[in-house]
Structures are given as structure tokens and as C-alpha cells.
Structure 1
Amino acid sequence: MSYVLYYSPGAASMPVHWMLIEMGVPFEARLVDIDAGQQRDPDYLRLNPAGQVPTLVVDGVPRHESAALLMLLAERHPDAGLAPAPGSAQRAPWFEWMVYLANTVLPAMRDWFYADSDGDPAGAGAVRALAQRRIEDACARLDAHCGAGHAYLVGERLSTADLLALVLMRWTRNMPRPATAGWPHLASYIHRLCALPSFIEVNQREKLTEWRNGDS
């Protein structure tokens, strides 16, 4: 199995980068400098016509979409235990969390950050307000789940759902109400995951200095 990850620091590629490190599988990481517009380079567009990250070249074939890549890697490396086994009691909740994070929280994040550029700037304020409400609702849902005694989103061990959730929560760090503010159970969950060696390492590899401990 061979993997080449095209990533941008702290972007939607981060949970995939983190997962590859957590699993300990060999891979090559190639930086896509979004600030310099490298996502629009013809060579990159041949790999990812949408001009987005991540792109994961799997055995020579480029694949896309962060949630899909997390699920694909979990399927290809079942021994890593980052997804419940097919047929297990936790398989359905895992699907539910993955789809919720990908279909509800990720689009709300997109609306929050890109309301001005993705649509009519005149309506950006309303779009961003709705996005903020949806993101805060997600924080409340995660907080309630953690407050019910769950150490992880699915079962009793780390899964792809936790990897995706933590990166999404990282994106709230400069919002009016970050995920670590006002949701004590969620904050504890965030701090615990931030202490994982693989999360520390992905921050080091991506040269990220903000929010290494969940706060700054």
C-alpha cells in the first residue's frame, strides 16, 4: 500500500494527516501552499479538479474528501482499530457521527469562513449568523455526549470520528464562542485528545503553533 498526502496546514487535510501518523503507516506528505495559490496549479488540478485539499494518492490513484478518506483508511487498515468492525454494535453510531460531522458541521464551517466569497456579500452576515448557530449547536451536542460519560464519540476507543471532530473544533478557536468556552465536557474531551502523541506530532509536522493544547 502506498500513500501520498497533499495537505495544507490546519485545513481539512489535517485529520487525514493525523490518521496516517496515528496508524504508523508509511506515507509521503506534500505541502500545497494555499496562500500562494498552489491549489490552482495545473499539475495539482489534474489530481484534484476542485482545487482543494486533501488529496490522497492511494496506490497511484488520487482520492478526495476528508471524511471519505478517513473511512477508506479505516477500511484498508482494520488492525489500527480506528473504526468499529462491520456488524458490531458501534458500527451504526460511527456512520452517524461521520455523516453528521461531514454533512452538518463541515458545511457550517465553510459558510462561517467563506460567506463573503462563496455567495452574495450583501447576505454574508445572515449566512454567517446561521453558520455560527449550527456550529454552536454541534458543540452542545458533543458536550452532551461527553457529559453522558463517553470518553470518545464511538465506543471506548479513538476513532476517525474523534479525529474529524477535533479538527473541526480547532477551527472554532477564533470564533465568538470557541468550543472550549461554555461547554465543559467538550473542553475536557478536547484537552485529552490534544495530548495524544500523534496529535502533537501532526502539529509539529504542519508547523502549527496555535491550539496545540486546545486553548491557544
Structure 2
Amino acid sequence: MQFYYAPNTISVAVAIALEEAGIEYETVKIDFAAKEQTGAAYAQINPKGRVPALAVEGGILTETGALLEFIADKAPDAGLRPKDPVRLARMREVMFYLASTMHVNHAHKLRGSRWAGKTSSYKDMQAKVPQTMTASCEYISQSGLRGPFVLGEEVSLADCYLYVVCTWLDGDGVKVENFPKIQNFMTAMEQRGSVRAAYAKGML
């Protein structure tokens, strides 16, 4: 399968999951600086002009959450998705929060044009990012992390997702030292071969 990504974007969560699952994949780097994501060639892959995208037998898949679930389906023995329905819902609760709230909070720093037509509005959105991302960290610390990882002692799809989001915190003006549970989570994830592989491949 071919994995389309851009470094330091949420797409890297999919790479971490692929590594956790032991699934072989070919990387295709999309150069955001050169605006490849908005070019005609990439539009044939993902007309939304975003990453990630995954070319598999049967077509091309997009959206981080969907790709993570696909990986869990392809490699059930990797244990990235719990079988217990309550734990499964808790995992997805965090994933959906990351997609609908925390990632959006972060995106207001650089993607103001998605929400406002006047450039004068962008600075106001950017100024809000440290506050909204800090609030998201408070939620994750209090309710999202039930141990070293989202579900406690076991790594799940949500941890792949959360780790990448947390790599943005310093740049978003969050005082990470105020969130020891997040710091411990980051340390635990960075000891895993999947995350080390992402760094070794220049994804992070």
C-alpha cells in the first residue's frame, strides 16, 4: 500500500499505527511548502487536498480516523482496538475529540482562511490558540489519559493520534510542563519502536 503524508502533520499518526501493526507500506511525501497538496496530481489521490491518504486494494482511503480503523481491521492481532465495547467507545471518544476539537484548535494558528474571509481576523484566531490548546490539554489530562496511555496500560489507536497532536503543543504556546501526565505519555510513546521509526524516516 502507498501512504501519502506530510511531515509533522496528523498524517503521521497513521504511520505510527502502521508500524505498531507491522504492516509494510510505501511512503509518498507530499511537499506542503511547494503546495503539492493543492496540485492537480494530488487531487487525483485526495481531492480534499489534505493528508493522509492510503492507496490500498480497492481504492484510496482518506481521513485519519478512518485509516486508523482500517489498520486495526487489517491487523487484529496487533491489539490496537479493544474488543470490550466500553473501552472501544472510550478510545473513540478521545479520537473524535482530537479530530473535532483539539486539531481544530491547533489549525486556527495557520489555517484561518478556513473560517474567516478577512485576513484581519487571522491574528485574533492565532492569539486564541494557546488558550484553547491549553484547555484541550486539561481535558486530556483529566479525562483522556487513564494511565500512561489513553486506555491505561495498553496502547491503542487513540495513542497514535494523540501523540502527533501533542508534538504541536510547544509551538502552540502550551506550557507542557504544567501537564505531567501528558509529558509521561509522550515519554512512554517515544520509547516505542513505532514512534522511533517515524522519527528515523523524517516524519517527525
Within 5 Å, give how 1:10-21 maps onto structure 2: 10-21=8-19
Per chain length, whose mean CA-contact separation is higher, i.e. which structure has more relative contact order (CA < 8 Å, sep 6+)? 2
Structure 2, gaps ≥5 residues long:
none
Q: Is the 8 A contact 1:90 1:155 kept in 2?
A: no
3-state SS, counterpart of residue 181 of structure 1: helix
Task: Output the aligned Cα RMSD.
Answer: 2.0
Q: Distance in 1 between the 2:28 and 2:181 partners?
A: 36
Identity of aligned residues (%): 25
Residues 1:103 and 2:119 aligned together: no
Partner of 1:196: 192
Q: Which amino acid aligns with 2:128?
A: L
Structure 1, gaps ≥5 residues long:
209-216
Query: Please, which of 5, 27, 30 is the counterpart of residue 28 of structure 2?
Result: 30
Give CA deviations for 1:136-175 in whole Å, capped at 9, x if unaligned: 111112222478x612112430011111111001012222
Give CA deviations for 1:21-48 in whole Å, capped at 9, x if unaligned: 1211111111111111221232210110
Give CA deviations for 1:72-127 in whole Å, capped at 9, x if unaligned: 21123221111112x53311211211111111111111112222675222122332
TM-score, with normalisation over the residues of structure 1?
A: 0.85
Structure 2 CA distance for partners of 1:127 and 1:51, relative to 1, 3 Å: same
Q: Distance in 2 between the 1:25 and 1:184 partners?
A: 32
Q: Which amino acid aligns with 1:22?
A: E
Within 5 Å, give how 1:1-216 maps onto structure 2: 3-85=1-83, 87-115=84-112, 119=116, 120-145=118-143, 150-178=147-175, 180-206=176-202, 208=204
Partner of 1:212: none
TM-score, with normalisation over the residues of structure 2?
A: 0.90
